[in-house]
């Protein structure tokens, strides 16, 4: 029941990190992949590597999820029904209320909230006319836990969780399921880049601190998130909708 044969999955932010891991895992289970990313060349390279490794169908398209015209153009290039949408594209910000500029709020809202909204709206139009589908959004433990210096980021991920619940409720009769995943810290290229920019020469020490902050003693991996995503987007989870799944190494309940 975890197989995704005859399913087409659109994944945003699919050129790296969690998005790429999800695209690869879905392809390994038979899904046709549409990899969307702000960087069109990176999206195409990701799709080419997936096709070469898994011998299935994969295309890569450039898409600025915060721009309505860009989203419409990308979805117009997708042939056939959208069976699965995974909203992975997102950006982060470090800072409390006083350290957050209006421009920071606008930038994070545009990508994390508006982008999720625009892609869900585009996908639902296909799903309603094709007897249903599955939407999975990437929220965060920051949506439901107070985390220091993540004011704007927490706001956006709280909105993602709320949108998930609303869509799940509104589209029950259309056979559309909508859930979200809330990771804690996951070791991605973004983490490496953030440490290199902000803590040059201290990367190893800071990495240990990030790992130690998880009760399980390490950060998660993109592949572990991809495994949960596969379950939630497969027929094995056909009785699950309107749920937020933490994947957090015990952060939510044990910290």
Catalytic residue numbers read 153
Q: How many CA atoms lie within 13 A of 158 on its CB side?
A: 11
Q: How many CB atoms are located within 10 Å of the residue 135 CB? A: 29
Distance CA 24, CA 47 (A): 9
Q: Which two tokens stand for residue 62?
A: 């450039």
Nearest to 112 by CA among 59, 156, 167: 156
Strands across the sheet containing 133-138: 58-62, 32-37, 8-12, 84-87, 133-138, 176-183, 244-247
DSSP state of 95: B
Task: Report DSSP letters for 116-167, one per residue.
Answer: HHHHHHHHHHHHHTTT-EEEEEE--GGGTS--TTBHHHHHHHHHHHHHHHHH
Distance CA 241, CA 234 (A): 12
Phi, psi (5° rounding) for residue 244? -110, 120
Distance CA 167, CA 242 (A): 8
């Amino acid at each position: 029941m975890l197989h995704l044969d005859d399913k087409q999955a659109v994944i945003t932010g699919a050129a790296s990190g969690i998005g790429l891991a999800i695209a690869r895992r879905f392809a390994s289970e038979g899904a046709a992949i549409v990899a969307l990313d702000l960087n069109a060349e990176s999206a195409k390279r990701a799709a080419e590597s997936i096709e070469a490794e898994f011998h299935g169908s994969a295309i890569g398209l450039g898409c600025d999820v915060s721009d309505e015209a860009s989203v419409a153009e990308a979805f117009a290039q997708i042939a056939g029904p959208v069976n699965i949408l995974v909203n992975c594209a997102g950006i982060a910000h470090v800072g409390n209320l006083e350290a957050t500029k209006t421009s920071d709020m606008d930038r994070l809202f545009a990508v994390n909230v508006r982008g999720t909204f625009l892609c869900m709206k585009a996908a639902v139009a296909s799903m309603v006319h094709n007897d249903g589908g599955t939407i999975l959004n990437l929220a965060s433990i920051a949506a439901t836990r107070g985390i220091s210096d993540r004011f704007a980021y927490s706001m956006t991920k709280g909105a993602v969780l709320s949108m998930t619940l609303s869509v799940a409720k509104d589209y029950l009769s259309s056979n559309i399921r909508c859930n979200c995943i809330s990771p804690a810290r996951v070791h991605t290229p973004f983490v490496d880049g953030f440490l290199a920019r902000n803590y040059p020469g201290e990367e190893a020490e800071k990495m240990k601190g990030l790992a130690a902050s998880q009760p399980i003693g390490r950060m998660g991996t993109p592949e572990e998130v991809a495994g949960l995503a596969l379950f939630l987007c497969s027929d094995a989870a056909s009785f699950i909708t309107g749920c937020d799944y933490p994947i957090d190494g015990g952060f939510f309940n044990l910290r």
